[in-house]
């Protein structure tokens, strides 16, 4: 399981790296923002979320079914549910702001984007804390 925890941490680092790159582009004023850079990072984050969810489903959730640790399956399902919710929330965020002219509502967009960034950070922290319980477990 230690190898899978390392891979999970790698997925987390990638998600955090993308949002860290996006954060300074979400400037106080629209005219200072790098919207092309944000567009690129949005696609990168979407791809990272798909890969992350697939990893959790295949390498954490599916393998937890073979575990002899009582909480492993419950943890895996909770992590998968949280990941799916994060992806859905991000898709809704993207859909909302793709249908709106963000530069006309930049302060609201900026606040919404910063909240989304925090949601990613919170998810990673929660998942990392959960994975610490798996060290030493016989979970796949």
Closest among 28, 21, 73, 75 to 43, alpha carbons compared: 21
For 8-25, the pLDDT digits (tens) are 999 999 999 999 999 999
d(CA 121, CA 20): 10
Question: Residue 3 — very low, low, confident or very high, per pLDDT cuts 50/70/90?
Answer: confident
For 33-85, the pLDDT digits (tens) are 898 999 999 999 999 999 999 999 998 888 776 666 667 788 888 999 999 99
């Amino acid at each position: 399981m230690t190898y899978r925890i390392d891979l999970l941490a790698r997925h987390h680092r990638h998600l955090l790296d993308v949002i860290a790159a996006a954060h300074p582009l979400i400037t106080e004023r629209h005219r200072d923002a790098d919207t092309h850079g944000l567009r690129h990072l949005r696609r990168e984050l979407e791809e990272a979320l798909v890969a992350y969810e697939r990893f959790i489903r295949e390498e954490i959730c599916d393998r937890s079914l073979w575990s002899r640790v009582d909480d492993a399956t419950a943890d895996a399902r909770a992590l998968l549910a949280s990941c799916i919710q994060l992806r859905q929330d991000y898709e809704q965020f993207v859909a909302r702001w793709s249908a709106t002219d963000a530069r006309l509502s930049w302060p609201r967009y900026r606040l919404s984007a910063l909240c989304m960034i925090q949601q990613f950070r919170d998810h990673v922290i929660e998942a990392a804390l959960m994975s610490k319980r798996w060290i030493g477990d016989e979970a796949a």
